[in-house]
Structure 1
Amino acid sequence: MSQKYAAVQGAMCECQFGDGPDKLKVLSHSKYYANDSDGTEKLLATSMEIGGATFEKNTFGQCKLQPTGSSFKPCQIVVTKWDGFYENLEFSNGGKVLLEDSKAICPIAGSPCISILDHGQSPAGSSSNAEDSNPDAQRQINPMIDSRDLQMEEASDIKEIIVT
């Protein structure tokens, strides 16, 4: 089985019958975070993100399943159920973690038509990433700077701060 990312607050979603994406809002809890050291932004999305106001704009544009003569009615997102979530973990709210390939069902379509375009997590660089970097690759990316010199300067600055 391949690895899948968990979806978080701000995950970009789309409906196959809409004409624009919208960002997921996590409203089902306020205590489970992913990839967020401060625990302030990236709430884990769960299968309990259902109902109306679960998205920022709460619309995917015009709904192709609701024609009105020469146009279409505006989409008003209502999620009735999520499919394809992670089964092996359940939160206190009864929800299960949504994954990057989870799909939601809307009452208009009656089938899983809402998918996650981007799970919302982004890697954050750290000092260990810099220490583990390949100096040859860094030199090819930026030949004007030797990353090992920067690490040594940073270490000596820290030493000076501690000593004085």
Structure 2
Amino acid sequence: MSEKHLVCQGATYQCQFGTAPDKLKVLTQTKRYTNDGKGAEKLIATHMDIGKTFEKNTFGSCSKMNNNPCQVVVSEWKAFYENVKISENNGNPLLEDSKATCPVGAPDCISIIFHGQTAEISQQNIDNADKQVIAQMLPGFNFDDFDEEEVEHIL
């Protein structure tokens, strides 16, 4: 994948003919998450997420439609990760450079602004952290003095 992020629910996209961004909504699978410790928010998007797959389904005004309201309909995704398949929808994960085609716009007219992933520290990260590195980064702070709930609150 060459250091490309997977795209997940909440990723922000923009059409080159539109005036406003919209957020991707994954509707084709319900089991595979990325960077989401609780498995509740960041479903992995795939090339099977076509049709009306955005939260508002609009990129504002569309210059291809004489500045009338855009009505997003994704007909195809390109540049997805072909080496992995999500079994639930037989889809390949979208990458941060994946582009979508809208029948009104043009091929590859919809591109990503933000992939949707954010760093999230979990108890597993803390358990696996090098104690010497933590001691240098946070002198005087000892994670062992706190339980899991207190650490989540601190972070």
TM-score normalised by the shorter chain: which range applies?
0.7 to 0.9
| 1:16 corresponding residue in structure 2 | 16
Following superposition, the deviation at residue 60 of structure 1 comes to 0.5
Q: For the structure 1 residues 85 and 73, does the alpha-carbon distance in structure 2 shift closer, same or farther, using more than 3 Å as the test?
A: same
Give the whole-Å Cα distance in 2 for the aligned partners of 1:50 and 1:59: 14
- Secondary structure at 2:140 match in 1: helix
| 1:82 corresponding residue in structure 2 | 77
- TM-score (normalizing by structure 1): 0.79
| 1:2 corresponding residue in structure 2 | 2
Cα root mean square deviation, aligned: 1.9
Following superposition, the deviation at residue 2 of structure 1 comes to 2.8
Give the whole-Å Cα distance in 2 for the aligned partners of 1:21 and 1:64: 14
Following superposition, the deviation at residue 129 of structure 1 comes to 5.3
Q: Which residue identity does 2:98 align to in structure 1?
A: S
| 1:105 corresponding residue in structure 2 | 101
Identity across the alignment (%):
48
Give the whole-Å Cα distance in 1 for the aligned partners of 2:86 and 2:144: 42
- TM-score (normalizing by structure 2): 0.83
Q: For the structure 1 residues 35 and 157, does the alpha-carbon distance in structure 2 shift closer, same or farther, using more than 3 Å as the test?
A: closer
Residue 155 (structure 1) aligned to one of 144, 150, 153:
144
Once the two structures are superposed, the pairs formed by residues 63-82 of structure 1 within 5 Å of their partners are 63-67=62-66, 72-82=67-77
- Secondary structure at 2:144 match in 1: helix
Following superposition, the deviation at residue 82 of structure 1 comes to 0.2
Structure 1 residue runs without a partner (length 5+): 139-146, 159-164
Once the two structures are superposed, the pairs formed by residues 42-61 of structure 1 within 5 Å of their partners are 42-52=42-52, 54-61=53-60
Equivalenced residues, count? 141
